Structure 1
Amino acid sequence: MRLFLMRTSASTLLTGALLLAAPAAAQTNPPAGGEVTVLEKFIITESAAYRAGEVLPTSRPVDSVFGPGLSVLDLPRSVTVLTPELMRRFDLQGLGDLGRIGAGTQTANYFGIAGTPYLRGVKASVFFNGMARAYQRNEMPVSFGSLEALDLVKGPAPSHLGPVPEGGYANFIPKTPYFDRARGTLALTLGSHAHRRAQLDYGSPVLLGTRPAAYRVSLTAQDSGSYWRNVGNDYVSAYGALKVQLTPHLRLFTGAEYYDFHSNENPGWNRVTQDLIDRGEYLIGEPQNIVSSAWGGLADQSLITFPGAFTGQPANFRALILPAATAEARIAPGLLALMEDRRGQDGGYRYTSAYFAAGGEALTESIDGATVLADPDDYADARDFLWFLDLVSTASADRTVTWKSLVEKIATDKHSSYGYAVATEQLVIENKLLVEQREVQPADTTLTYGASVRYSYGRTLQDFAAEPFNRRDITRPVISANSQVPAGTDLDPNGRNLWSTSIGGSTESDLWQGALFGLARTKWTEQFDSILSVRAESVNYRADLPKAVGRATLAQRLAAEREGEKHHGSGSLSMLWRVRSDSSLYATYQRGTALQPGQGGTVNSRSNFASAELKELGAKFARPNGRLFAGLAAYEWENARFNDRENRAERLRGRGVEFELTWAPTDRLNVIASAGSQRVFRLDPLGFRARYATAERIALESGSFDAGVTPTPARNPSLVYPGTPETQAKLDVAWQVAPAWGLSVGAVWSHAFYHNFERTLVLPASVVWRGSVHWAHGPLALRLGVENLFGEDYFIGADPNFSHNNLVTKAPSTEGKLTATWSF
């Protein structure tokens, strides 16, 4: 059978499709008048599929939740469907961008690197082609170079998919080869802050012997600064995929991506006060000089960590010192006399308790959001290799058998001179067998069952012994050696590295997961469906301190050795009632286990496996003409997250309401809107973390990390979780003004929210506008996009688990990007 797929006309495709019904002998004799391309059903299906998905969520099936072929209208879960068109429109280039669209989606800052999505106020997982990827908190920003589209599934993953973090998951839909003809694009982007990005994407059908096949490659390179000084975002992504019809009933889809990322962390502003948030008033000064040649010409770490900074030192040893000229010009002589004169040793005057008791104030200078706690010599580098495979057999008309494989290997290396370092390695290998049996009786049931085996290796070397965030004055033009603290691979005076000697801080682990699972979708009547999902899993883990921990004693290594096993089950039941052909109501209940890895995907105790529960009620509506979709969901969940510093799980509960709407009244105009209100509660008392500090306390205690334990803050006895907006509304309107050009404009409104558990720091309400204009003529398309059109002052919420009282991140001001795309 000959295939001419490079320039196949629509009429030829149709003729080929009709010939499929003819006997094989007839297909070998083309009709008079010319040669006819004969295409298998597989090829026609694949050719139509690559464009699937426009603006409406109903424009493509959602395979990420309860199996293939389901419309979002028939899913008894809250899902935000992101099609290729929406990916372009909202310029979604990373997990940090997901907060621009959908209810229950947030942008959260964890030291500037979005390694995990945030859904419903908490961490979520990342899947690729239906398989869970390696967990990584902020080792790297997950590459978007290999994906075509996204499904954001909110709430714990359905039981058959396995245990994942509490917020839900983002399923990456990989770029798929083209079977109808060769095509490609070259996209070049220039933007604010020396942003440069190029992507070449190309695919074509081929013949592998006599077997129809297609391939696709996508190469992406970015060289970019950022709004924040000394913070970059450079990477290279290389992706390739292949699809082959091996036999009439056996097809293969496989692909791989290599991703190489280079940047550094962005902790944001330190020395956080409400005046800093409201008016940019930053507390200036640095503590006593403790630079030591024995510590490589940097600060003496032994005088920063416990007990060195707290015992045997002068009363004001940790207090900030103001430059002499600044103090003498701005402080009255009477108050200046109450400060400690250290002009001879440190060139200035040191704050004292007596100064503040007499009415003295901590001096500030104005600062912009771009000046952050980042050193140009810092680095956060990562390399990721991902490979996936689907082997699908359709030998039986009512049964599909699928073998799925995923391998991912991640290596990261970070060092920040304020006093933090981490190095991780991960390897994940999973194989899964699924059997989908259709038309099972007595009712109309589609039964999917199977087994999976997953192995996860994780190694984390981490040093968070010091982390004196407030030590450095970030307004100074030069980073002082006195504010650079040895960490990680740096050596102490005895020549030993500084990796943490406690399990949880530094961990090496092996985890095996074996599971049996089943999913039954039953259509009891035309109006009523049920979906039952179950999973039985057995896990085995082993953990100890990595050999590279230089200061660990034999006793510490023996105490850190862990091994154990756990046998658990999960189940969920969903009911869906079609009130009419265009509307449905649903209810879901799920109970089971969630996996909560530590940094670098490590597991060292039963605390990494938490009990998880979800209750969700919802309604969905879609107009028959496809012009409107709306969804409403109310939910409550209970889960836990793992605390690396305390090496234990911490229970959480969340509840909220979400609404999403997509309306396309004409082919040229559409509206996307959403609104959500959520609240997350911590069910266990607070543990060790950065302490809230007033301006006076920061001035007196900045020389070392100021931490402690306040189990239940007086202003927040219910331990309502801070860090992300509890209430948001989003709107985006797109108008195709003329065939050649169009525009879109949108806004995200966020209610004011608390930054810390103590409720002493409030981040302001904001309305952040964005807009874009696009033009296309022939093969050339141009798109100009602008974020934060009116320069709104707003903040990116942060995970409040540890450092929220010390750090806050102001979001970028107005930024623009111009992208030129050439299609060929």
Structure 2
Amino acid sequence: MSRRLVLLATVASVGAFASLAAVSSARAADQLTEVDAVVVTARDRNAGLLEKQPNDTVFGLDKPLIETPRSASFVSGLTLQRYGVETIDDLTAVSPGTYTASFYGVPGALNIRGTLAENYFRGFKRVENRGTYATPIGAAEQIQIVRGPPTPIYGSGKVGGMLNFIPKSGKGEGGYLEKPEGEITLTYGSYNKKDATAQVGLPVEVGQVIGGVHLYGEVEDSHSFYHGIYPRRQTGQVSADFDLGGGWSVALGGMIYRSQGDVQTSGWNRLTQDLIDNGTYVTGRDTSLVDADGNGRLTPGEIGYYPYASALYLAYFGSPTTDAAHTLDTGVGTTKLSPRTVYVSAADFSKTATNTLYFDIGRKLSPDSSVKLQLFYDALENKRFVSYGYPAWFDSDVWEARLTWDFRNEAFDGAVRAQSFVGASYRAFDGRRRESFNSGLIALDRRDLSYGATATDIIGSPFNPGDGVQWENDNHSKWTQAGVFFTTDISLGERLNLMLGGRYDDYDVTSEDVGYLSYTVAGVQKAAKGKGTYTASVSYKAPFGLMPYMTYAKASALEMSQAGDIAPGLVADASDAWLSDSDLAEAGVKFQWLKGTLIGSLAGYRQNRTQLTGINAAPTGTRAKGVELEVRWLASDHFSFTFSGNSQHTTVKGPDKSFQYIPVYTAGVSGVDGYGGAYLVWDFTSIRPGDYDYTLIPKSVVSLYGAYASDQHDWGKVFATLGVTHVTKTSGTVPGAVVYPAYAVASGSVAYEYGPYTATLNIDNLFDELYFTPVADTYANLAALPGKGREWRVTLARRF
């Protein structure tokens, strides 16, 4: 019997045992009469399954998630630790419909329902992050995963999903802290992982002013599973909340984040099915190109005339071609490759700085109405170089102001009740995106990973002025978005509920690319347009703890590049390609059974939206449909279980006009004759006409976890978590692409708590399963990232 089957049998046996225990024991959960949310927080001792507090994330109105007609999951900081979630890519363990193809090994954004989601901070959209840096989650009190479009109050956005990060604050469960409290943690783990955090919450009371302040800091200096990647990150966060008296309240704070070493890696190159199935790697190097000036890298003059005759690619027009630079002429053979050996060199780097600030001021006008003004600012600067030939420098910031009036009213002696808000917002972006790739100085397969980086597979960059490489794209982009919005939640009697929302935005966009070889329309490009979006939902509180619902939403959003900018070619397009449309139809049922100790949701959806694909960032339509199931069960005082799973199918709508790199076998060339360079098609329809399946995302991801919490004893308390995530096969997108087999990864944790001290052991990939994640974006058919093998870490915590 395989390890996978053993694990599934083990979890099933634990579930059966827990069911018997639940029947025979006197449970504190029997006293629960209602569970108002399908959320995961730190408020119950079994790793945080049940939460009864309303939340305004999904629609902007305080409403329990179990009564919200939309699919969503909330995850607390404690659950993240117990379930071994260190990055947003690991959220597949706790939320259905989430899986992300590798953005070069850097977990910046999550894929939800087959397309990329957007990151929010306290309900405000952050600057775009598609693998630019590892999105920090340690400072989050809660991560909220919403499937579908954002609520109208949050601004325009694509359907698919969003991640909302709620920072730690100076509030406790029942309100503000009554006394100072804090925690210090130290973590050490495999591959020399070292991390330290410190946080403190302080109550504030000065005259009529009461509130709380929370400070958080984190420092990481680690190696990693992958040779040559050494992440170093620092996070600082402060939040303050105050009631000023007279109905006034204020909230303010911010987060700073710095990182070095989040180096992008494509993983394994020279993909073949034999490499994935058996680990057999084709070796060999090309020696026809030489580092003549001895600077340790290939510069344009050592290849040809820059920028028009220095390319390392050959275009594919239906018949095989090769040249001397593409041919491997030394060290040709095969070998076995370690999953720890990936595409990286000492010349690669990535440096990131982000600054996030917020300020809220509000006043309670009456028991049924309030007004709030919110300000938000987010800035990103990133410099990075990937040695196969991709340098980039992003420098962007965005600010937003939002004014909201919340109010309640009722009619017909309370038979019809409504809670609503109306408001206005203004958002302004200013950014600059510098990249170099248009001259074709890129060759992902050129490096022999078994030999290591050499001077003739490290490409020059604009960060080294003497190399002669220029910033081929240098896009300056500014845009503003002024909008008005509303949402109303209408209860008709005690069972029927109707939610309506919408917004209208005026967009104004200006972009100009002054790059050395931008291949886009010249000069300043301007465009302006107004667009409306809306959402409508109906739900019914049926007997037997069921609440069926239906939702339809139509949305619009800006087509942003990696730095949050908008490409001039899109702005100049007569069809307004810079502003996309998307729509969602969703139907489902929320349920709560066993006196509220078993809660969950089942949802089916169909959505249409766009995504930017290829080197030329062409807007391409997608159509997705799927079914998602999420269950949370507090089986007894000691045992709890979670299940999340989905079945989905995403189709790329043709024609896909994107510019794509293709593998040598698609070009009809052998590895020995082609790995020294690259092959591409100017138009992907030449090999993929019409619609095609988006196979970089698995058809199904299923996670099952069980948790145990002991009683409190004189000697302390013990917690344990065990779970497995199963992922179906994926593949590239070209015909006859390499297939990555299905896999199952198990994770577990054990924690011991004694007084203010806690020691936690986490083990990820318990059985050291070898698996692969396809690379997203332009090189999806050229590379795949081996999954991390077994890793462990021990965290010591002291509360005070």
Verify the 8 A CA contact 1:599 1:644 in the aligned structure 2: no
Among residues 135, 147, 150, which one is paired with 2:140 in the alignment?
Answer: 147
Amino acid at match of 2:188: L
Secondary structure (helix, strand or coil) at the match of 2:553 reads strand
2:628 to 641, 648, 658: 658
Partner of 1:42: none
Unaligned ranges ≥5, structure 1: 1-48, 328-362
Deviations 1:260-299 (A, max 9, x none): 0111112111111111111111111111242344694522
Secondary structure of 1:98's counterpart equals helix
2:243 to 242, 245, 251: 245
Measure, in 1, the Cα distance between the counterparts of 2:678 and 2:281.
18
Give the equivalent residue in structure 2 for 1:485: 459
Q: Which residue of 1 aligns with 2:5?
A: none
Distance (Å, rounded) in 1 between the aligned partners of 2:755 and 2:598: 30
Task: Answer whether contact 1:94 1:142 (CA < 8 A) is retained.
Answer: yes
TM-score with structure 2 length normalisation?
A: 0.86
Tell me if the contact between 1:123 and 1:165 (Cα under 8 Å) persists in the aligned partners.
no
Residue equivalent to 2:77? 84
**Aligned-pair Cα RMSD in Å:** 2.4
**C-alpha contact (below 8 Å) 1:542/1:563 kept by paired residues:** yes
Q: Is the 8 A contact 1:57 1:81 kept in 2?
A: no
Question: Structure 1 pair 701/644, CA: closer, same or farther in 2 (3 Å)?
Answer: closer
Distance in 2 (CA, whole Å) between partners of 1:174 and 1:67 is 17
State the one-letter code of the partner of 2:618. R
Aligned to 2:101: 108
Q: State the partner residue of 1:744.
A: 721
2:479 maps to 1:507: no
Percent identity for Structure 1 against Structure 2:
23
Match in the other structure for 2:283 = 284
Alpha-carbon distance between aligned partners in 1 of 2:371 and 2:204, rounded to the nearest angstrom: 25
5 Å-filtered alignment, 1:181-330, equals 181-208=179-206, 210-263=208-261, 264-293=263-292, 296-301=295-300, 303=303, 307-308=309-310, 309=312, 316-323=323-330
**2:380 equivalent to 1:403:** no
Q: Deviations over 1:185-214 (max 9, x none)?
A: 001111111100000010111234552121
Structure with larger RCO (C-alpha < 8 A, sep 6+): 2
The structure 2 residue matched to 1:565, chosen from 511, 521, 528, is 528
Q: State the SS of the aligned residue for 1:699.
A: helix
Give the match for residue 691 of structure 1.
662
SS in 1 for 2:678: coil
Q: Supply the AA of the counterpart residue of 2:384.
A: K
Match of 2:751 in 1: 774
What's the CA shift for 1:85? Answer: 3.1
Distance 1:104 1:647, change over 3 A: closer
When Rg is computed on C-alpha atoms for both structures, the one with the higher figure is 1
CA distance in 1, matches of 2:252, 2:97: 32
**Is residue 497–residue 538 contact of structure 2 (8 Å, CA) maintained in 1?**
yes
Q: Equivalent residues in 2 for 1:598-613 (5 A)?
A: 598-604=561-567, 605=571, 606-613=576-583
**Larger mean Cα displacement after TM superposition, 739-748 or 137-146:** 137-146
1:388 equivalent in alignment to 2:369 = no
| CA distance, structure 1, for counterparts of residue 411 and residue 112 of structure 2 | 38
Match of 1:468 in 2: 443
Residue 539 of structure 2 corresponds to residue 576 of structure 1: yes
Equivalent-residue separation in structure 1 for 2:586 and 2:789 (angstroms): 37
Alignment of 1:581-660 (within 5 A): 582-604=545-567, 605=571, 606-623=576-593, 625-643=595-613, 645-660=615-630
C-alpha separation in 1, matches of 2:614 and 2:398: 20
Moved more, 582-591 or 693-702: 693-702
**CA offset digits 1:578-634 (Å, max 9, x no partner):** 113732000000112123310100013232321110000010101373311121000
The one-letter code matched in structure 2 to 1:244 is: F
TM-score scaled to structure 1, two decimals? 0.84
Whether 2:501 is the aligned partner of 1:537: answer: no
Change (3 A) 1:295 1:427: farther
Give secondary structure in 1 for the equivalent of 2:450.
coil
1:818 maps onto 2:794 in alignment? yes
**What is the match of residue 523 of structure 1?**
491
1:681 to 651, 659, 672: 651
- Work out the CA distance in 2 between the residues paired with 1:211 and 1:534: 36
Deviations, residues 471-500 of structure 1 (Å, cap 9, x unaligned):
1111114x210111112323466x5x4211
Corresponding residue SS for 2:129: coil
Work out the CA distance in 2 between the residues paired with 1:520 and 1:736: 41
Contact 2:276 2:740 survives alignment (8 Å):
yes
Deviation at 1:459, TM superposition (A): 0.8
Q: Distance in 2 between matches of 1:725 and 1:410?
A: 31
Shift in Å, 1:157: 1.9
| C-alpha distance in 2 between matches for 1:187 and 1:630 | 33
The one-letter amino acid paired with 2:703 is: K
- Residue type matched to 2:476 in 1? E
The letter for the 2-side match of 1:789 is L
2: CA distance, partners of 1:444 / 1:162: 26
In structure 2, which of residues 773, 780, 798 is the aligned counterpart of residue 796 of structure 1?
Answer: 773
**Quick one: distance in 2 between partners of 1:533 and 1:475?**
56
In structure 2, the residue matched to 1:447 is 420
The corresponding residue for 1:667 is 637
Cα distance, 1:130 vs structure 2: 1.2
Secondary structure of 1:227's match? Answer: coil
Which amino acid is the alignment partner of residue 809 of structure 1?
L
Deviation of 1:798 after TM superposition, in Å, equals 2.8
Q: Is the contact made by 2:42 and 2:79 (CA closer than 8 Å) also made in structure 1? A: no
CA distance in 1, matches of 2:83, 2:149: 26
- 8 Å CA contact retained: 2:119, 2:163: yes
User: SS of the counterpart of 1:611?
Assistant: strand
Query: Retained in 2: the 8 A contact 1:730–1:748?
Result: yes
The answer to whether the 8 A contact 2:41-2:75 is kept is no
1:598 and 1:644 in contact (8 A); partners too: no
Contact kept in structure 2, 1:719 and 1:757, CA below 8 Å: no
Q: In 2, distance between residues paired with 1:68 and 1:57?
A: 20
Partner in structure 2 of residue 702 of structure 1:
675
Map Cα deviations across residues 418-456 of structure 1 (whole Å, 9 max, x no partner): 211100011110010111111254631111110000001
Question: What residue identity is the alignment partner of 2:470?
Answer: L
